[in-house]
Amino acid sequence: MPHVIVKLWPGPTERQKQDLAKAIVEDLVDTLQTSEDSVSVAIEEIKAQDWMEKVYWPDIGEKAAQLYKIPGYQPF
């Protein structure tokens, strides 16, 4: 605990994805006061033309009540 899945369009370099995963792990460890050994991060590249079907509707549209950050909205 926890496991984070980042879904994004293809394009970031391997280094950028590694840096992103590292930043997520560091923030989770700091915020949740958990061990780095308990954290896992996956990155899935989804083509832009598949985004609505594979990400937006199943992960955003159908789970809006679970979102802490809504696309286009800045609650913080």
Please give the pLDDT value at position 74.
76
| 3-class state of residue 45 by DSSP | strand
Give the CA angle between residues 17, 22, 25 to the nearest 5°: 125
pLDDT per residue, tens digit, the chain (76 aa), is 899 999 999 999 999 999 999 999 999 999 999 999 999 999 999 999 999 999 999 999 999 999 999 988 776 6
Please give the pLDDT value at position 7.
98
The pTM score is: 0.90
**CATH H-level superfamily of 3-66:** Macrophage Migration Inhibitory Factor (3.30.429.10)
Please give the pLDDT value at position 73.
77
Distance (Å, rounded) from C-alpha 66 to C-alpha 68? Answer: 7
Distance (Å, rounded) from C-alpha 18 to C-alpha 15? Answer: 5
10 part of the active site = no
Measured in whole angstroms, how far is the alpha carbon of residue 51 from the centre of its chain?
14
Which residue of the set 2, 12, 58, 75 is catalytic? 2
Please give the pLDDT value at position 1.
87
| 3-class state of residue 74 by DSSP | coil
